[in-house]
Amino acid sequence: MSKKRRNSITIFDIASEAGVSASTVSRVLNNSMPVDPAKRDAVMKAIQTLNYKPNLAAQELGRGRTMTIGILMPLSVSIFYNTIINGIEQRLEQTPYRSLVAASNFNPQEEHKLLDLLVARKVDGIISLWSQLDENYLLEIAKETPFISIGRVLPGIEKHSLVVSNMLGAYQATRYLIERGHTRIAHITGALSVPDGVQRLEGYKKALKEAGLEVDPQLIVEGDFDEQAGLFGVGVLFARGARFTALFAGNDMMAMGARLGFYRHGMRVPDDVSLVGFDDQPGAAYTIPPLTTVRQPLVEMGRMAGQAILDLIEDQEPDLPQFNTELLIRESVATVVRNDFNYKMYMPS
Amino acid sequence: MSKKRRNSITIFDIASEAGVSASTVSRVLNNSMPVDPAKRDAVMKAIQTLNYKPNLAAQELGRGRTMTIGILMPLSVSIFYNTIINGIEQRLEQTPYRSLVAASNFNPQEEHKLLDLLVARKVDGIISLWSQLDENYLLEIAKETPFISIGRVLPGIEKHSLVVSNMLGAYQATRYLIERGHTRIAHITGALSVPDGVQRLEGYKKALKEAGLEVDPQLIVEGDFDEQAGLFGVGVLFARGARFTALFAGNDMMAMGARLGFYRHGMRVPDDVSLVGFDDQPGAAYTIPPLTTVRQPLVEMGRMAGQAILDLIEDQEPDLPQFNTELLIRESVATVVRNDFNYKMYMPS
DNA sequence: AGAATTTGTGAAACCGCTTTCAAAGTCGTT
DNA sequence: AACGACTTTGAAAGCGGTTTCACAAATTCT
């Protein structure tokens, strides 16, 4: 079916070129042992002139370690996940470890395949982001290979899991809205099939209850984290005739969708309706108006995950801190001025 | 410094388990040769019960081909590049080839290192996106390994390069603005250190000249593709006292930045000023108002690049089509109603 | 029925590098 | 000068697969 390409110059070629043994070449390559300076130079020169590049597969096979840690993420086309990965790589950069990332595009089949691929590649560790895979399968893999889970806690290895409190973030967002005088706060949820979505919903409810406000189902519509859902969500809200002065969206993308929805209905943000998102995705600072949102310390999370996987590889128990969200106050929320007769409620025209 | 992990079960383990030779196991694994059904089943079962996973490094070394094509991109945290990569992977999915992507974060040092890594990994082909590396170095690599360049044409292997006409896109955008009655059109350029930036500037100028309009340096400010630059750019424009009714931004991110700039200055889009971007990045459809912009067929480009690298691997000359941009008309441009006394009069359409 | 093919199979060589092991050199002591 | 303790070094044995090769067994053809 196809030809091999077995051209490459090997360690032996450069060995003979330099007049030493292959072992010696290997030794200067990894300087794993002292080598006579003269020979070392000869080897270096040979490497140079023959433009030798070690064969990675051979190295890995030879030493039984790949020096790479695999990263499994749900979606390649996502700044959110990539930012975390950035953090991981920042940590790894200072080590001899490389990273190898695989994206499943939210397809569990594909994710399974990719995870197997990482295992087949014998990566030294795996960091998985928001895996959708079966718990037991993951645990099984975690038994064989150092494994860190981000965005999902795996029972039994909670210590190797890293999540931020979605609940807290949603609570902060809602709470803030309440403090600014809003009492009728709508919520477009994230996908309720994933924990993040329901946890954020919970946080929203908690803030409401704590403030003695009722949780009105009329004000809640289920979304799926997509811009579309935001746009559609405000449509639903209006169709219901819901009355609200603020909207908390389950993430920034939905907030942007909602923003467009309001625009279509001729409602100004924040003058007519306040809006808060979740994630602080890039660009959130450049919406009109700049979006108030909940920030997760993504890069920092990545860094810590990187540290944790290194710990695990060294057989040390990782020490994963608690990550908290932070409310980023920008310009999409207005204070509502109370009025005994009229709560400053808005309705589309 | 560290321990090996040499636990794994090998082809021999499953060979003895199934009562056949290792060669046979290999044969059923790749079904490269007919094997007695009974033995085949035995092998399958053994694989199952021992939960065997072939060692990729060993496979690659053994067969001298890695069945992976490397992708080198400038920035991991970018939907733009990732969309192209998506296209590549779509094409690859239907083949036995895997992809391996490496991101340099615009750091030439890093890019060099990563490219070397791909070579060391002996990938069967390389697709490079907007490489910043030295031409000769790239050509040298292209000599050894099938190589496709996206976003930059490499002299000598133009046929292996894939670019879209930035010039055309910018021309389309500017032309459209002119057709809508705009005569004073500002432009915030991309980074002029990269071809895309200057080509878009050229396209802008071309459209202007063609329409008999002067190219006013007052209306041009250099940006760098970042939101910041857009925001800053309109600041500069206003500081100069420049008068314009439309702005063509070198990309969407700068358009968003500019959008915020206008907002800060109390100018409505498109009522007071029209705006067009470039790239159609996700979210561009959800700006306020939805942004008119130039679309590049990213996914399609990726697919074709995937096809091309496969061709190259098969020793066939790839047939890369010409990719054209397309103007996506949304809502950020208004028609100007001319007025002899004051051209600053608009009518949103 | 016997010759000529055509399977199916295991042994062994090989892929390119690392690492163990033992031999050969060095050097410092006594 | 002889001896022991380190250093350097090359040969050789892996690492876990693939593939060639030779051979036995099963088919097919006269």
pLDDT score of B31: 85
Q: How many interface pairs between A and B have CB atoms less than 8 angstroms apart?
A: 127
Look up residue A209 and give its two tokens.
Answer: 């209850």
- What is the least distance, in Å, from the CA of A321 to any CA of chain B? 25
The answer to whether B86 contacts chain A (CB < 8 Å) is: yes
Q: Which amino acid is at B317?
A: E
Q: Is the pLDDT of residue A156 over 80?
A: yes
Are both A190 and A255 inside the same structural domain? yes
Average pLDDT, chain B: 92
CB B120 to CB A55 under 8 A? yes
Stated as kind and residue range, the H or E segment containing B150 is strand B147-150
Q: Is the pLDDT of residue A145 over 80?
A: yes
The answer to whether B11 contacts chain A (CB < 8 Å) is: no
Are both A231 and A195 inside the same structural domain? yes
Q: How many CB atoms lie within 10 A of CB A324?
A: 13
- What is the least distance, in Å, from the CA of A203 to any CA of chain B? 27
**Does residue A341 sit within a domain?**
no
Are both B250 and B214 inside the same structural domain? yes
Percent of chain A with pLDDT over 90: 84
Average pLDDT, chain A: 92
- With bands split at pLDDT 50, 70 and 90, how would you rate the model's confidence at A349? very low
What SS3 class is residue B161? strand
Which among B82, B120, B231 has the least Cβ separation from residue A77? B82
Are both B230 and B312 inside the same structural domain? no
The answer to whether B287 contacts chain A (CB < 8 Å) is: yes
pLDDT score of A4: 53
CB A288 to CB B259 under 8 A? yes
On the 0-12 / 13-18 / 19+ scale of CB atoms within 10 A, B198 is middle
Are both B151 and B285 inside the same structural domain? no
Are both B186 and B205 inside the same structural domain? yes
Q: Is the pLDDT of residue A75 over 50?
A: yes
Residues of B in contact with A54 (CB under 8 A): 120
Taking chain B (349 residues) in consecutive chunks of 10 residues, what is each chunk's mean pLDDT? 63 92 93 89 93 92 92 92 95 91 93 93 95 95 94 93 95 97 97 95 98 97 96 97 96 98 96 97 95 96 97 91 93 80 43
**Does residue A5 sit within a domain?**
no
pLDDT score of A337: 74
pLDDT score of B7: 65
- What is the least distance, in Å, from the CA of B211 to any CA of chain A? 33
Q: Work out the average pLDDT over A124-135.
A: 96
- What is the least distance, in Å, from the CA of A2 to any CA of chain B? 8
Q: How many CB atoms lie within 10 A of CB A21?
A: 14
**Does residue A6 sit within a domain?**
no
**Does residue B201 sit within a domain?**
yes
**Does residue A90 sit within a domain?**
yes
Question: C-alpha dihedral over A224, A228, A230, A232, to 10 degrees?
Answer: -110
CB B286 to CB A257 under 8 A? yes
Q: What is the CATH number of the domain that holds B44?
A: 1.10.260.40
pLDDT score of A338: 58
pLDDT in tens, A212-260: 999 999 999 999 999 999 999 999 999 999 999 999 999 999 999 999 9
pLDDT in tens, A50-72: 999 999 999 999 998 899 999 99
**Does residue A340 sit within a domain?**
no
Q: Tell me how many domains chain A contains.
A: 3
CB A289 to CB B263 under 8 A? yes
Q: What is the CATH number of the domain that holds A263?
A: 3.40.50.2300
Q: Which positions 307-326 of B are in contact with A (Cβ < 8 Å)?
A: 313-314
CB B61 to CB A64 under 8 A? no
pLDDT score of A181: 95
Rg (CA), chain A: 27
- Alpha-carbon distance of A69 to A122, in angstroms, equals 9
Are both B125 and B188 inside the same structural domain? no
Look up residue B14 and give its two tokens.
Answer: 């499953």
Are both B90 and B178 inside the same structural domain? no
Are both A31 and A76 inside the same structural domain? no
**Are A66 and B57 within 8 A, CB to CB?**
yes
- Alpha-carbon distance of A253 to A248, in angstroms, equals 12
Q: Is the pLDDT of residue A80 over 60?
A: yes
pLDDT score of A291: 98
CB A286 to CB B227 under 8 A? yes
Chain C footprint bases within 7 A of protein beta carbons: 7-12, 14-20
**Does residue A155 sit within a domain?**
yes
Tell me phi and psi for residue B153, to 5 degrees: -95, 135
Chain CA centroid to CA B47, Å: 40
pLDDT score of B6: 55
Are both A46 and A93 inside the same structural domain? no
Are both A139 and A226 inside the same structural domain? no
Q: Which domain range does residue A40 map to? A: 11-54
pLDDT score of B79: 87
**Does residue A215 sit within a domain?**
yes
Are both A158 and A303 inside the same structural domain? yes
